[in-house]
Amino acid sequence: MNVLIIGAGAAGSVVAKKCAMNKDIFTNIHLASRSVSKCKANQKWIKERLGVDISVSAVDADNVAETVALINQVKPDLVINMALPYQDLAIMDACLETKTHYMDTANYEPIDEAKFEYHWQWAYQERFKEAGIMAILGCGFDPGQTNIYCSYAQKNLFDEIHEIDIIDCNAGDHGKAFATNFNPEINLREVTQNGKYWENGEWVHTEPLEFYKDIDFPAVGEKRGYLLYHEELESLCQNIKGLKRIRFWMTFGDAYITHMEVLQNVGMTRIDPVMHDGKEIVPIQFLKTLLPEPSSLAEGYTGKTSIGCIITGVKDDETKTHFIYNVCDHAKTHKEVEAQAVSYTTGVPPTTGAILIAKGLWNPGPGVWNVEQLDPDPFMEEVAKQGLPWESKELPEGLGDLTQRRAKYDKKVA
């Protein structure tokens, strides 16, 4: 397969390296980014460590014509979009114009509004069908591998699924006072926006990080997970049969939340332009330049990530709860590809998806697809080989109802 990877950040670098580790599948790898220096650094690492040659170039992924020219030059079988979510539609437009298959790891988000939804990309359905190409959406870890855990459970473990709780814990320590494990701008926009979850056919809206639960995560122990909205909820509530409720929980330490709330209170997480010394700046973009680059966190990062799906439903008229999850070690991923585990868990699934496409095991036909609409079994087998082994165990019960609420919201209501 000839593959074009757009984006050479922390996760994009993992994709390039893992593709090079599968040189029997990926006969030609091209890495492109606005920052060609990042591409060249990966090119050098891959040549020195793996003995594989990849080609690189600079590209402005916001510029459709420039991306089209690059695709026409490289002639890839598949474009893997590891750029920013703001750029999804522009890259999809370029793939349409060149009739090239497309894959990404995160859904589109407008740059001027912290609101990520799939409807912008789902609107491409007929155009991709007419072009005879496929777009595979959300093939990261969450969204991505978590979606596939759910479809695997639907296919193999349940007759009907009623409740899903996706739980995401990074119990690692990077030694910084405050840093984000992926693009700071995207991370902070995600966490500071209002939350929501899906129950009984409708969305229930919450304040940012309003509800929490203390959850026992495999390999790391009990951590506090906060309810927030995450994009896989939007597609899973449509594609999992019989679903009555789906929620997403992510862990944050007290220091992270304190830093985030201070930054929010002083306006540093604003996404609208402000005037500073006669120049227009966007505060959150300025903040991004001050915070550590996520890829720089890998060296010396200790601890593990623990991410999975707690799924409750019915099998043979009996209510059951299954927990499917992965544990990933920061030190081990750094040793393998010089990346921390959050980047690694994001980069391995699109590599796996691309392998399945190359082998003809993922071939749903032209159109726009979320990963849970594809066959989960070959993915589950291949992703374990690629570095993300998974476990499945039966639990006595699920997470239950919302019972714990942050004190600041209790006071407000009282």
Percent over 70 (pLDDT), the chain:
97
Closest CA to 1 of 314, 369, 354: 354
Q: What does the mean pLDDT of the chain come to? A: 93
Model pLDDT for residues 100-132, shown as the tens digit of each residue: 999 999 999 887 776 778 999 999 999 999 999
Instruction: Determine the pLDDT at residue 170.
Output: 94
- Give the mean model confidence (pLDDT) for residues 390-401: 96
pLDDT in tens, 401-412: 988 898 777 655
Give 414's pLDDT tier (boundaries 50, 70, 90). Answer: very low
* Stretch 316-328: mean pLDDT: 98
User: Cα–Cα distances in Å, from 321 out to 62, 114, 161, 163?
Assistant: 44, 34, 9, 9
Q: Is 205 helix (H, G, I), strand (E, B) or coil?
A: strand
Answer whether 170's CB lies under 8 Å from 92's CB.
Answer: no
Angle between the 341-358 and 10-20 helix axes, to the nearest 10 degrees?
50
More confident residue, 410 or 299: 299
pLDDT at residue 181, rounded to an integer: 63
Q: Which residues fall within 8 angstroms of residue 42, CB to CB, at 6 or more apart?
A: 8, 13, 16, 17, 31, 54, 56
Indicate the pTM of the whole model. Answer: 0.92
Q: How crowded is residue 54: how many other Cβ atoms within 10 Å of its Cβ?
A: 22
Q: Helix, strand, or coil here: 128?
A: helix
pLDDT in tens, 44-83: 999 999 999 999 999 999 999 999 999 999 999 999 999 9
Cα Rg for the chain, rounded, in angstroms? 21
Q: Which residue from 344, 363, 398 is spatially nearest to 167, judged by alpha carbons?
A: 398
**Backbone φ and ψ of 215, nearest 5°:** -115, 140
Q: Which domains does the chain have, with CATH numbers?
A: 2-141+342-386 (3.40.50.720), 145-335+391-413 (3.30.360.10)
Structure tokens, 152: 């695997």
| Alpha-carbon gap, residue 296 to 354, rounded angstroms | 27
